[in-house]
Structure 1
Amino acid sequence: MGSGFSSWCTTLCLVVSALMCAQDGDARRVAKWQEEDKDKYDHTDSSVHIFFTIDNLKTGKSLPICFSYQSSTKSYLLSREEANSIPFSSEKLPYLLELFSFSKDSPQAKAMEYTLKHCELEPIEGETRFCATSLESMLDSARGVFGLDTEFKLLTTSSLTKPTPLQNYTILEVPQEIFAPKSIACHSMPYPYAVFYCHGQENKNRLFEISLGGEDGEKVEAVAVCHMDTSQWDADHVSFRVLKIKPGDSPVCHFFPLDNLVWVPLPT
């Protein structure tokens, strides 16, 4: 019990550090979504310069990549108790808009509606899917996927400095594959406080850690995933337009933004 609790606390600290979430003031403060930043709230407007094919995983290969924070608004992490005290449902959207003082036609309202509806989608066959509104709920859900007695680690894309929004990056070394029968990727979502959409498919993804060098000298230690089976994906998925392929044609790979998390179990 003691060692398990200690391990849980250590993992929690690692997540907070990875997200750089040491905010000033009380956690009850939510993100101050300013009207002048309204172009940031459209989650669907995220950069498309993260997709590539598995054939591109070669040393010396150069790719145009945009390493950014997927949710560019400043969101605050809530405790489980705080998060559970706030409804998280599209049915409650009118109440939530009133709670956060957003008009129903505002960019913030559209972003909240997008996130709530995305979190309510049914998983496809063989997929695990959940949304976490606190770190505690994220870790508990991950434990439920991997097994209560399974230890797991966190992978993130990292850079020593803020990367240039879009530039060509060269693969510096042979990509290192992370062999894991299961993995869970958690993507930050636009919302007044920190919300993560997490999903994974058993034995249908391949994870890689990739060292990249930018044109400006920036070095990024990136995490990327290749989805080996896309036959059940929506035909309108942006990756198909970018890569000019159709569902099931070939694996779709993408780099993870800087504020995303990937959980993998440790070898037993």
Structure 2
Amino acid sequence: MGLRFSVWNLLLSLLFLCAPVLSENLHDSHSIPSHMNHMDPSTMVFFTLKDLKIGETMPIYFRKRDPSAYPQALPREEADSIPFSLKQLPYLLQFFSFSDDSPLAKAMEGTLNHCEVPPIEGETKICATSLESMLDFVHGTFGLETKFRVLSTKFLTKSATIFQNYTILQVPKPMVAPKMVACHIMPYPYAIFYCHSQMTENKLFGVSLGGDNGDRVEAVAVCHIDTSHWSRDHASFRVLGIEPGSSHVCHFFQADNIVYIPAPTYHD
């Protein structure tokens, strides 16, 4: 696959300029509410809009990984030459020399399954196999002539703690975002981003957080106002104890997620 990954790696590196190189080796659940101990910590990113206020404390999971360990990205020409479909999984496992029962094979199967699930009502989605396909999707969502901003969650301190209580330190800052595209990195032998955009109303915020251990995080969070078309199996409903459509759902973005929003336009 070579080393022709400079543009993609530049984008990924920009996301981690403010992030230390960390290993995900600690699970600090000190002072986490006891009724949450049975939950998968990685699902603890959800909250409601009423929680979004200065002084509010909540348990949050922020994974912390060395960006150099992420899978490399492929140029569009090379990515397009490799099949990307669940029905081609046996060929792909042979292509990448993975055994059928290996953890890597299971991860690939999970990613391909996720990518082939139809979008929910009012949503558009793509699994971007290259930077070019990701940007095509962003331009298709915003318009070819629309300039855009790239947002991500940033770690301001060095720590290996991935799960702890965080307190909102300042009044959350609303961001003007009539549309947005969120891209989430997926487990795969090369860089795959699941990107999606919803036509329903969303509210985007910048949130300053302080952890129990002194960690500081400048987080990006989104609140989805209409959840009536979401699956009942969505993790947010289990965490928050609500039903689809009964309430809005907010969540923090991980540091390896990319959020695109149209850049503000100014008129004389």
Please give the TM-score of this superposition, normalised by the length of structure 1.
0.82
Q: Contact 2:122–2:200 at 8 Å: present in 1 too?
A: no
Q: Aligned residues, how many? A: 235
Confirm or deny that 1:74 pairs with 2:70.
yes
Moved more, 111-120 or 67-76: 67-76
Deviations 1:114-163 (A, max 9, x none): 11111112112211111111112111110111000000010100113345
The change in CA–CA distance for 1:215 and 1:238 in structure 2 (over 3 A counts) is same
> Once the 2 structures are TM-superposed, how far is the Cα of residue 66 of structure 1 from its aligned partner?
1.0
Aligned runs of 1:1-268 on 2, under 5 Å? 15-20=11-16, 47-69=42-64, 74-160=70-156, 161-162=158-159, 164-268=161-265
TM-superposed CA distance for 1:71, in Å, is: 11
Equivalents in 1 of 2:259, 2:159: separation in Å? Answer: 20
Change (3 A) 1:267 1:13: farther
CA distance in 2, matches of 1:95, 1:46: 34
Does the CA contact (< 8 Å) of 1:79 and 1:135 recur in 2? yes
Kept in 2, the 8 Å contact 1:51–1:243? The answer is: yes
Contact residue 57 and residue 175 of structure 1 kept, 8 A: yes
User: What code does the residue aligned with 2:79 have?
Assistant: A
Extract structure 1 runs of 4+ deviating beyond 4 A. Answer: 11-14, 69-73
Give the distance between the partners of 2:16 and 2:76, measured in 1 at CA.
19
Deviates more, 1:181-190 or 1:69-78: 69-78
Range moving further from structure 2, 222-231 or 11-20: 11-20
TM-score computed with the length of structure 2 as normaliser: 0.82
Indicate the larger mover: 222-231 or 194-203.
194-203
Shift of residue 179 of structure 1? Answer: 1.6
Report the CA distance between 1:17 and its aligned residue: 2.5
CA contact (8 A) 1:46 1:70 kept: no
The percentage of aligned residue pairs carrying the same residue is: 59
Would the aligned equivalents of 1:131 and 1:195 in 2 still touch at CA under 8 Å? yes
Contact 2:16 2:154 in 1 (8 A): no
1:196-220, Cα deviation, whole Å (9 max, x unpaired): 1011212421111100011111110
